Structure 1
Amino acid sequence: MNCKTSAMLGFLTGIALGGIATWYYSKEKYTFIAEQEIASVKEAYSKREQPATEPQTTTVLNPGKVQDKPSISEYAKRVQGEGYTEYSTTVAGKAAEKETPQISPGEAPYTISPDEFGELDGYTPVSLTYFADGVLSDEYGTVIDDVEEIIGDGLSHFGEYEEDAVFVRNDAKRCDYEILQDLRTFDEFLKTLPPNR
């Protein structure tokens, strides 16, 4: 054989034997590492499950103060009887009577000036339309059935501030209503709305 061929054959044999030895060594090393990891995970889980089977003790710092919690309704009654302060209606420790009026449910709606409309925080401004045929509705064509509950006697106050508009505040509903007078009838207004409403 030629010297070059035998050198080449020896070189390739060395590469093959080195690759096999490296593969075998790596396989053994990483198998050992994997077994150690599996063993540590098993040990961690076995330690984790042990406290659940052992009886648990609770430490009571002051045994004289341990008592059952009252129900939420009993707690609410007790808090109201102990001088509860409603901080949502105070500003910097002082009563916020100037910013938000005291609301008593059932208080009748009352007219306000156009400048007061939408002025209070927490009050929703709502626009309504009063038609020539006596129908009151919102801008989507929904008829207001209980006019007295919503705006009180607001319809009798057209012309006080503006000829064709009245502004009403309803504290019970937390709404400011703008009622605009329309010379059309309600049926004429419905014809102007899109058909898919």
Structure 2
Amino acid sequence: MMSKFAAPAAFFVGLAVGAGTAWYCAKEKYAHIAEQEIASVKAAYAQREQRQEQPVETPATKLAAGKVPEKPSIVDYAQRVQEAGYTDYSRTIKADPKPEPGERPYVISPDEFGEIEEYTKVSLTHFADGVLADECGEVVDNVEEIVGDALEHIGEYEDDCVHVRSDAKRCDYEILEDLRTFDEFQKTLPPNH
């Protein structure tokens, strides 16, 4: 019969043998990995030294050796640049140039309307008889100054509508097309107007 201490002693002996085996295996494994890393570093340094031993030919070493590089003519250089697809942007013209801020009113997309918070949003109506008026029925006399050539662009982005920005007046205009004449519109206004 086994004594009380035999089972725990066997357990601890087994634990010690297992731990020793694990330590030995781990030591061998990591020694092998370390050898591989050292070998790869040695190989990298060997390649680096071989590259450093080969002379690199730079413009300075060419001049020191008496080799003067031949400079291409400006005509040859210009021809190579043109063949590579050079575009002379100084000679291109925008198809629809957008005026510089402050110059004159210009058409904007519906998405741009009201995006500048400091600009006042104004709604105007263009009637069938060519009259341009605001929401209260006040006729816009100087159409060209207020909205530029915007009336020619009605329908480009949205049917019966165009949006215009005037940087000089700090306003975004929405011009809606109305099939009525201005006189027909005035009849719908309240009598005190």
Length-normalised TM-score, structure 1: 0.47
Length-normalised TM-score, structure 2: 0.48
